[in-house]
């Protein structure tokens, strides 16, 4: 974070990339397995450099990706702009570091850009069509078969050649939208649509069959009318046979390949199931970059195997990062484990601990998860209270409606997922639940702009607006661990109706000091001031607000900073008294400028001018400082924006 106290600098070990021309030599050997390993090595370097990324599913998918791009599809030959090209994309999107490595090897993505994975202006953490070779935005799971079907329908309608090949995860198939799309593809006779399931048997951090069994997937897909092949997804001869068989199937029948793969394939200690056993039942390589030692071991193993076929393979030293990175970037939590803190302040961790404590007092409390137990810090609850923990898999709509049913029987469900998925995909289900007059607590994890590495599919900058017009829903965001505990207790024990708690997922950039005791609708003054009043919420933006106030203070401008955790309700008397002395009021949103705290305050201080700083446009992908600076929301930019506004006022 910008100017973060306590942030230490981590030196990335020497990183070496296989240059593009080496892939040409490998191609001449006609060894797709070798090409896949070479892509694995480069994806590993890119992820290590980025400090985050999904290696496990990149590695399970890479033999298939390489087979498709180098052998089966026409796109590398026709180019990524040709209307008759075969379109390939990954619906799960987590595996994009592998795809980036392949696109780099094919000359589509320049080396400089591969080295800017999860950096501003580089390669998004999840697929984005702004990147060359990327055909669809994904990362929000379960949409790919519908989108692919649209593309395939359009190709048929427009008389264009080429297939549309969509890679899906296996855990991803838990999303109901897939089954909508599967039924429609058969009904509409979209035979130029191919689905390839990367059946690596692991989802976020546990086996698919434990989280929510797919059962006999082949039987299910056939019941939905699809032609289904299965094969070993790392065996290129088997892949060639399967694809040939699929090509021979009648034109109007959609085709699926269930490819049995190994998560982490290619690096022995990352391979399932051994890696799962070593992790004590948790798979450590789903997300996040390996530490230096594991990186070195993994890279050596891959390069060793590559040298068996290409003994003189070149490895080019990667230029150093232009700027040192704070450790907080190392482990941007996103379905990953083992995050190293900058401070010991994690609102998410406090949330998980308090939830477990509340369970002791509240026998009616039930916790629901949609395959994000590690990130949402509810794994301890799951282990301690298994009979009160419900895992529904990657299925947010089912998650919410099941909670609605629990609540109708008098239980108090606490529903967990990422804010971007829960508030958005399950929005109608939340409305329906609320309309029954029951109470549910919605924990919106990963709320706000930061971390910005995973990209716009995961950054939640609309969730407050999505819930704000819902009757009987209080939306809060705590600023620190203690407030997280207080607000969660309030939500569980005192609130009469639904509560949505927005939670930042990363470590707090600084410890926010707050007075004890929460009064609904009232915030707290963090720093006194006289020239202007600045509202903010959540650890990320409060840090930036305080940094701005500190910078302005040094320049002689006195800004009062108020932490306002109540995002859609306010104590009117408190507010009126608070704002009265100030000629200028500013609001800093960890959200779009529309539909959150600023709009609520405008309704309340009707007739007072108010300036809102929020995430304008699409949230930027990059490191926290990059993203904050891009949106003009870092402390330094904010100080300048506020100073400008104050000066304009003085001048007028």
**CA dist., res. 70 & res. 27, Å (int):** 8
Interaction between residue 252 and a copy of itself (CB under 8 A): no
**CA dist., res. 39 & res. 66, Å (int):** 8
Of 303 and 605, nearer to a copy of itself (C-beta) is 605
For a copy of itself, which stretch binds (CB under 8 A), given 323-331, 389-397, 441-449, 497-505? 389-397
Of 93 and 624, nearer to a copy of itself (C-beta) is 93
CB 545 within 8 A of CB 634: no
Interaction between residue 414 and a copy of itself (CB under 8 A): no
Interaction between residue 404 and a copy of itself (CB under 8 A): yes
**CA dist., res. 325 & res. 331, Å (int):** 12
For a copy of itself, which stretch binds (CB under 8 A), given 179-187, 244-252, 446-454, 624-632? 179-187
**CA dist., res. 246 & res. 156, Å (int):** 18
Of 320 and 360, nearer to a copy of itself (C-beta) is 360
CB of 102 to a copy of itself, least distance (A): 20
* Residue among 501, 493, 439, 443 at smallest CA distance from 471: 439
Site track for a copy of itself across 536-575, x = CB under 8 A: --------------------------------x-------
CB of 519 to a copy of itself, least distance (A): 23
CB of 611 to a copy of itself, least distance (A): 8
Using CB under 8 A, which of 14, 30, 84, 216 touches a copy of itself? 216
CB of 159 to a copy of itself, least distance (A): 11
* Residue among 450, 546, 557 at smallest CA distance from 502: 450
* Residue among 162, 165, 126, 129 at smallest CA distance from 149: 165
Of 525 and 569, nearer to a copy of itself (C-beta) is 569
How far, CA to CA in Å, does 49 sit from each of 10, 291, 325, 425, 477? 11, 11, 10, 32, 32
Of 142 and 509, nearer to a copy of itself (C-beta) is 142
Using CB under 8 A, which of 186, 351, 389, 630 touches a copy of itself? 186
Interaction between residue 137 and a copy of itself (CB under 8 A): yes
Of 531 and 599, nearer to a copy of itself (C-beta) is 599
Interaction between residue 244 and a copy of itself (CB under 8 A): no
CB of 510 to a copy of itself, least distance (A): 28
Residues 6+ apart with CB under 8 A from 441: 412, 413, 414, 415, 488, 491, 492, 495, 498, 499, 500, 501
Using CB under 8 A, which of 408, 558, 647, 649 touches a copy of itself? 408
Which of positions 41-60 make contact with a copy of itself (CB under 8 A)? Answer: none
**CA dist., res. 126 & res. 179, Å (int):** 23
CB 186 within 8 A of CB 255: no
Interaction between residue 178 and a copy of itself (CB under 8 A): yes
Of 22 and 205, nearer to a copy of itself (C-beta) is 205
Which of positions 594-633 make contact with a copy of itself (CB under 8 A)? Answer: 594-596, 599, 602-603, 606-610, 612, 617-618
Which of positions 425-464 make contact with a copy of itself (CB under 8 A)? Answer: 425, 427-429, 431-432, 435-437, 456-457, 461-462
How far, CA to CA in Å, does 131 sit from each of 123, 126, 387, 525, 639? 7, 10, 45, 44, 33
* Residue among 449, 431, 391, 397 at smallest CA distance from 590: 449
Coil, strand, or helix at residue 508?
Answer: coil
Which of positions 111-130 make contact with a copy of itself (CB under 8 A)? Answer: 128-130
Of 55 and 173, nearer to a copy of itself (C-beta) is 173
Site track for a copy of itself across 349-388, x = CB under 8 A: -----------------x--------------------xx
Residues 6+ apart with CB under 8 A from 50: 117, 118, 119, 125, 289, 453
**CA dist., res. 144 & res. 128, Å (int):** 13
Task: Give me the residues paired with residue 258 across strands.
Answer: 197, 230
Interaction between residue 250 and a copy of itself (CB under 8 A): no
> How many residues sit in the footprint of a copy of itself (CB under 8 A)?
109
Residues written for the chain: 652
Q: Tokens representing 403? A: 């909670």
Using CB under 8 A, which of 73, 402, 447, 540 touches a copy of itself? 402
Using CB under 8 A, which of 105, 202, 403, 559 touches a copy of itself? 403
Of 146 and 636, nearer to a copy of itself (C-beta) is 146
For a copy of itself, which stretch binds (CB under 8 A), given 181-189, 339-347, 378-386, 548-556? 181-189
Interaction between residue 393 and a copy of itself (CB under 8 A): yes
Interaction between residue 192 and a copy of itself (CB under 8 A): no
Q: Tokens representing 128? A: 């984005």
Q: Which regions of 398-470 does DSSP assign to beta strands (E)? A: 412-418, 441-445
CB of 472 to a copy of itself, least distance (A): 8
The region that residue 135 occupies, defined by phi over 0 for left and psi between -120 and 50 for alpha, beta otherwise, is: alpha
DSSP per-residue codes, 222-279: HHTT-EEEEEETT-HHHHHHHHHHHHTS-TTS-EEEEEE--TTTTSGGG-TTHHHHHT
CB of 293 to a copy of itself, least distance (A): 37
Using CB under 8 A, which of 214, 450, 492, 546 touches a copy of itself? 214
Residues 6+ apart with CB under 8 A from 135: 80, 87, 88, 89, 129, 151
For a copy of itself, which stretch binds (CB under 8 A), given 58-66, 396-404, 486-494, 519-527? 396-404
* Residue among 430, 292, 297 at smallest CA distance from 368: 430
Task: Give percent helix, percent strand, percent coil of the chain, each to the nearest 5.
Answer: 40, 15, 45
């Amino acid at each position: 974070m910008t100017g973060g106290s306590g942030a230490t600098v981590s030196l990335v070990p020497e990183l070496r990339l296989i240059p593009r021309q080496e892939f040409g030599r490998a191609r001449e050997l006609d060894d797709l397995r070798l090409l896949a390993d070479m892509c694995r090595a480069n994806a590993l370097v890119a992820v290590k450099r980025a400090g985050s990324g999904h290696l496990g599913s990149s590695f399970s998918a890479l033999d298939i990706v390489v087979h498709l791009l180098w052998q089966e599809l026409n796109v590398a030959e026709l180019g990524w702009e040709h209307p008759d090209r075969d379109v390939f994309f990954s619906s799960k999107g987590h595996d994009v570091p592998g795809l980036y490595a392949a696109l780099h090897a094919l000359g589509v993505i320049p080396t400089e850009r591969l080295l800017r994975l999860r950096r501003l202006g580089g390669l998004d953490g999840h697929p984005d069509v702004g990147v060359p070779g990327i055909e669809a935005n994904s990362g929000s799971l379960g949409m790919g078969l519908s989108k692919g079907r649209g593309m395939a329908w359009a190709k048929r309608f427009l008389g264009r050649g080429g297939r549309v090949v969509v890679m899906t995860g296996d855990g991803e198939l838990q999303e109901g939208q897939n089954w909508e799309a599967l039924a429609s593809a058969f009904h509409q006779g979209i035979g130029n649509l191919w689905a390839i399931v990367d059946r690596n048997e692991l989802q976020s951090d546990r086996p698919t069959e434990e989280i929510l069994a797919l059962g006999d997937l082949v039987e299910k897909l056939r019941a939905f009318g699809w032609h289904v092949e299965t094969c070993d997804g790392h065996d290129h001869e088997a892949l060639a046979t399967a694809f040939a068989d699929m090509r021979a199937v009648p034109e109007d029948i959609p085709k699926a390949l269930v490819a049995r793969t190994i998560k982490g394939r290619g690096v022995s200690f990352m391979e399932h199931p051994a890696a799962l056993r070593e992790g004590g039942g948790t798979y450590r390589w789903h997300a996040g970059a390996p530490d230096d030692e594991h990186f070195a071991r993994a890279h050596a193993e891959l390069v060793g195997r590559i040298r068996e076929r290409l003994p003189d393979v070149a490895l080019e030293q990667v230029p150093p990062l232009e700027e040192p990175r704070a450790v907080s970037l190392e482990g941007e939590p996103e379905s990953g484990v083992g995050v190293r803190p900058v401070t010991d302040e994690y609102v998410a961790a406090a949330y998980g601990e308090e939830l477990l404590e509340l369970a002791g007092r509240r026998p009616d409390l039930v916790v629901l998860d949609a395959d994000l137990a590690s990130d949402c810090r509810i794994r301890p609850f799951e282990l301690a209270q298994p009979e009160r923990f419900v895992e529904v898999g990657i299925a947010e709509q089912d998650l919410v409606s099941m909670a609605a049913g629990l609540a109708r029987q008098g239980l108090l469900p606490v529903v967990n997922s990422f804010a971007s998925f829960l508030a958005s995909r399950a929005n109608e289900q939340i409305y329906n639940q609320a309309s029954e007059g029951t109470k549910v607590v919605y924990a919106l994890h990963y709320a706000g702009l930061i971390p910005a590495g995973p990209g716009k599919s995961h950054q939640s900058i609309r969730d407050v607006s999505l819930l704000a017009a819902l009757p009987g829903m209080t939306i809060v965001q705590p600023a620190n661990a203690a407030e997280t505990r207080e607000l969660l207790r309030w939500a569980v024990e005192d609130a009469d109706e639904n509560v949505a708690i927005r939670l930042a997922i990363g470590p707090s950039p600084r410890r926010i000091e707050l007075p004890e005791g929460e009064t609904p609708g009232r915030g707290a003054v963090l720093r006194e001031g006289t020239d202007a009043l600045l509202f903010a919420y959540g650890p990320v933006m409060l840090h930036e607000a305080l940094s701005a106030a500190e910078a302005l203070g040094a320049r002689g401008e006195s800004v009062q900073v108020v932490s306002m955790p109540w995002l859609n309700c306010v104590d009117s008397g408190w507010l009126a008294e608070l704002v009265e002395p100030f000629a200028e009021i500013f609001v800093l949103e960890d959200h779009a400028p529309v539909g959150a705290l600023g709009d609520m305050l405008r309704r309340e201080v009707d007739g007072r001018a108010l300036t809102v700083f929020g995430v304008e446009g699409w949230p930027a992908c990059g490191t926290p400082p990059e993203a904050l600076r891009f949106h003009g929301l870092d402390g330094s930019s904010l100080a300048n924006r506020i100073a400008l506004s104050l000066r304009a006022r003085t001048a007028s």
